[in-house]
Amino acid sequence: MAKRDCVVVLGIAIVGLSGCSFLSGPKKVEKPPPEPVTGLHALAQMYSSAKNWSPDLQILREVSLQMGDIPAQPGKSPVWQATFVSPTLGQSRVYTYAISDLSPSVRGGIFPEPPAPFSTKGQQAQPFLIQAVKKDTDQLYGTAMTHAKAFSDAHPDMKINYLLEFNNRSPNAAWRVMWGNTPSNAAFSVLLDATNGVFIEVLH
């Protein structure tokens, strides 16, 4: 084979290899699964979104929702739901924050429900400012466990959820670390001050 022919054949081979590489494309990098977040992180995100609805925003409550197959992490949850209040509008509005699509009704991102009429009359929980929440759920998890170790050890598979409210149980807004899906069916709870992290009481 002539020298020139060898060069042509080699060139064709190189182009062919390059073509194969181009067709295969870059390898796809799998994204890590979404991580659950703390209560204060989710609250700040929802608060920022809700400010577009009403600038005089106050918080009535925030609660975690353990959903999907995402492994539990101390002080964190894949879904958080906050109820905000606008005194000037006389309305409340529920916002949901989810780290990903977890069900047909719970989609990843921040989604508000329509506003509803609101009055503080007859309400046990009272609205408060976001500045009152200085301690986050992952910080308070360890404190809660010092008061709940025996119960937690006896019920290792029970889900832990979190509720933020301001009522007559404490001088400030408080985080309730609760073993159970909702406040009404919680079998055991620890109440902690959301401003300074101080232990308040155990609720059975």
pLDDT tens, residue by residue, 8-56 = 444 444 444 444 444 555 667 677 778 999 999 999 999 999 999 999 9
pLDDT top residue among 30 and 106: 106
Q: Is residue 135 included in any domain, yes or no?
A: yes
Q: Is residue 26 included in any domain, yes or no?
A: no
Confidence of residue 92 (pLDDT cuts 50, 70, 90): very high
Q: Is residue 14 included in any domain, yes or no?
A: no
Q: Is residue 87 included in any domain, yes or no?
A: yes
Q: Is residue 182 included in any domain, yes or no?
A: yes
- Burial pattern 36-74, b for ≥16 Cβ within 10 A else e, equals bbbbbbbbbbbbebbeeebeebbbbbbbbbbebebeeee
Total of domains in the chain = 1
- pLDDT at res. 182: 85
- pLDDT at res. 15: 43
Q: Is residue 48 included in any domain, yes or no?
A: yes
Query: Which pTM value belongs to this model?
Result: 0.83
Q: Is residue 15 included in any domain, yes or no?
A: no
pLDDT tens, residue by residue, 162-176 = 999 999 999 999 999
Q: Is residue 24 included in any domain, yes or no?
A: no
- Domain span at residue 197? 37-203
